[in-house]
Amino acid sequence: MSLTEVVDFLEREFPQIHHGGRSYHLEAVGPLRARMRMDHHERHLRPGGTVSGPAMMALADLALYAAILANIGPVGLAVTTNLNFNFLRKPGTGSLVGEARLIKLGRRLAVGEVLISSAGLDTDAEDLVCHATGTYSIPPTR
Amino acid sequence: MSLTEVVDFLEREFPQIHHGGRSYHLEAVGPLRARMRMDHHERHLRPGGTVSGPAMMALADLALYAAILANIGPVGLAVTTNLNFNFLRKPGTGSLVGEARLIKLGRRLAVGEVLISSAGLDTDAEDLVCHATGTYSIPPTR
Amino acid sequence: MSLTEVVDFLEREFPQIHHGGRSYHLEAVGPLRARMRMDHHERHLRPGGTVSGPAMMALADLALYAAILANIGPVGLAVTTNLNFNFLRKPGTGSLVGEARLIKLGRRLAVGEVLISSAGLDTDAEDLVCHATGTYSIPPTR
Amino acid sequence: MSLTEVVDFLEREFPQIHHGGRSYHLEAVGPLRARMRMDHHERHLRPGGTVSGPAMMALADLALYAAILANIGPVGLAVTTNLNFNFLRKPGTGSLVGEARLIKLGRRLAVGEVLISSAGLDTDAEDLVCHATGTYSIPPTR
């Protein structure tokens, strides 16, 4: 699926992510990869202006889901079965970017990792705010 | 801390969880334990009316945080360092309940697990919709 | 499968666990459950006489595998896809026991948790040395 | 610490890894990194000649530990607090290599990831047999 097709699919399947205003934006998709940006929005922030853990977790899950869609097509029923998060540093107050990479894309399971960092920074080790891995069960009838 | 004290603390530290309307309710705290309910709310739902993964992840994180607060006092800066989720079954359309239990409460680290099931059901294996474990770093100066 | 049948199956499929001498013993199986004991053995110990992390990880994986076998029969090709470990306390120098409980047993995936504690102690929160969760992919042709 | 110093330290602290014959070899250390090789050895193998899960878990834990030692010195009491493994493909019958990279190296916690693949292959997504993340608690008095 192209970038536009994945964006349209996510709009239909995950409309709740835009509840209260748009802040998740799919920036790019490619072979085994996707990049998702989460803009600053009041509903994601903790006191002090830093992004909350659950907002980062949603970003990681969405970025991985987008990478799967881009690489195997509109699998509406692909299901998240496991997510693991290591929270590394307090994020800044600006946008965050999640770089997702699939490390397995089998017939039944897809596994990927996501590196989350502040927008505009590299995903070097010293800039990461969160590292996530996720597993998705792919429906048998595709 | 008592139930009321924990509720008040969470209101101050995590106001964003009520953005768009209240749906998280701390029901009980006790030795190494806390129970948090998440009511049905449009912003947590996926098409079809089932609760989204990120909404469950927020519930688990909050329930564990409440259990730590209840057992060691107002540690405003306790930081989530790791969260692991296994999503087991599609939740129903009603409220969800997260039962948190701390399995380690040390000076520097707290570790706990959360069993999430539909409100009104047991936390038997066959009713769980999500199992989570979490690790929290406790600030040294408490 | 009965306790004896699971033990025989593990002997054939995982003979390497006994390399250097027997120390893993399946003590019980039941509905969604299994209990595995790991006896003190030089090859599992770190300096100071405490059990190494990898020895505990092997115990958890085996206990979950035994619980799956006991509940769905000889699935020789069931494959571990995810394991998550929280190491809670330094174990003592005696035997360890892993209590495995399946929290999902579907057609394609099984998920379970294992509580590891010193033999003879309860699996109360304050006695746990390790908590693990695991996911197993079940072959489609059973 | 240099490569030689880390090797010597591991020999003293983890002699049990060589129980039954040497198969773990630290190949390189560098800024935030370490590479550990695990050679083919009967005690690591399952029927069919593939490397067992616990043998890979030991490799990941050791590689991360080596990366920490190389970067902060002989912290004999650094303790593994969390390990998460995604098993991606059945490994071949030859040696395995674990490439460890620290993604956080704080005063109290270190977090890293390990990519395990067959020796001689790249760590491209399609060659990985296991992905692991680990968290280590660093003693306060160093």
Q: What is the pLDDT of residues D55-74, one digit of tens each?
A: 899 999 999 999 999 999 88
pLDDT tens-digit profile of D114-129? 999 988 766 566 689 9
Q: Which chain C residue's Cα is nearest to A133? A: C82
pLDDT tens-digit profile of D26-42? 999 999 999 999 987 76
Name, in order, each residue with C-beta under 8 angstroms of D128's C-beta and a sequence gap of 6 or more: A103, A104, D88, D89, D115, D116, D117
Cα distance between the two ends of chain B: 15
- Interfacial D residues in 65-104 facing B (CB < 8 Å): 81-82, 84
Q: How confident is the model at residue A77 (pLDDT cuts 50, 70, 90)?
A: confident
B109 touches chain D (CB under 8 A): yes
Can you tell me the mean pLDDT for C72-76? 81
Can you tell me the mean pLDDT for D83-88? 97
Test the D interface: residue of A68, A83, A104, A109 with most D CBs within 10 Å: A104
- Residue C70's alpha-carbon distances to C7, C9, C14, in angstroms, are 10, 10, 16
The C-alpha of D28 sits at a distance from chain C's nearest C-alpha, in angstroms, of 22
CATH tag for A3-137 (out of 3.10.129.10, 3.30.450.40, 3.40.50.300, 3.90.550.10): 3.10.129.10
In this prediction, residue D142 carries a pLDDT of 42
In this prediction, residue C142 carries a pLDDT of 42
How far apart CA A21 and CA A40 sit, in angstroms, is: 11
Contact A111 D86 (CB under 8 A): yes
Report the complex ipTM: 0.91
Which of B20, B52, B81 comes nearest A86 by C-beta?
B81
The C-alpha of C2 sits at a distance from chain D's nearest C-alpha, in angstroms, of 23
Residue stretches of chain B with pLDDT short of 70: 19-20, 42-49, 76, 121-126, 141-142
| Contacts A79 to B, Cβ<8 Å | 87
The pTM assigned to this predicted structure is 0.92
| Contacts C128 to B, Cβ<8 Å | 103-104
Pairing of strands C128-137, C79-87: antiparallel
Name, in order, each residue with C-beta under 8 angstroms of B98's C-beta and a sequence gap of 6 or more: B35, B36, B37, B38, B59, B60, B62, B63, B114, B115, B116, B132
Q: What is the 3-state secondary structure (H, E, C) of chain A?
A: CCHHHHHHHHHHHCHHHHCCCCCEEEEEEECCEEEEEECCCHHHECCCCCECHHHHHHHHHHHHHHHHHHHHCCCCCCEEEEEEEEECCCCCCCCEEEEEEEEEECCCEEEEEEEEEECCCCCCHHHEEEEEEEEEECCCCC
Cα distance between the two ends of chain C: 15
| Contacts C54 to D, Cβ<8 Å | 54, 57-58, 61
B116 touches chain C (CB under 8 A): no
Q: Which residue has the higher pLDDT, A119 or A126?
A: A119
The C-alpha of A42 sits at a distance from chain C's nearest C-alpha, in angstroms, of 33
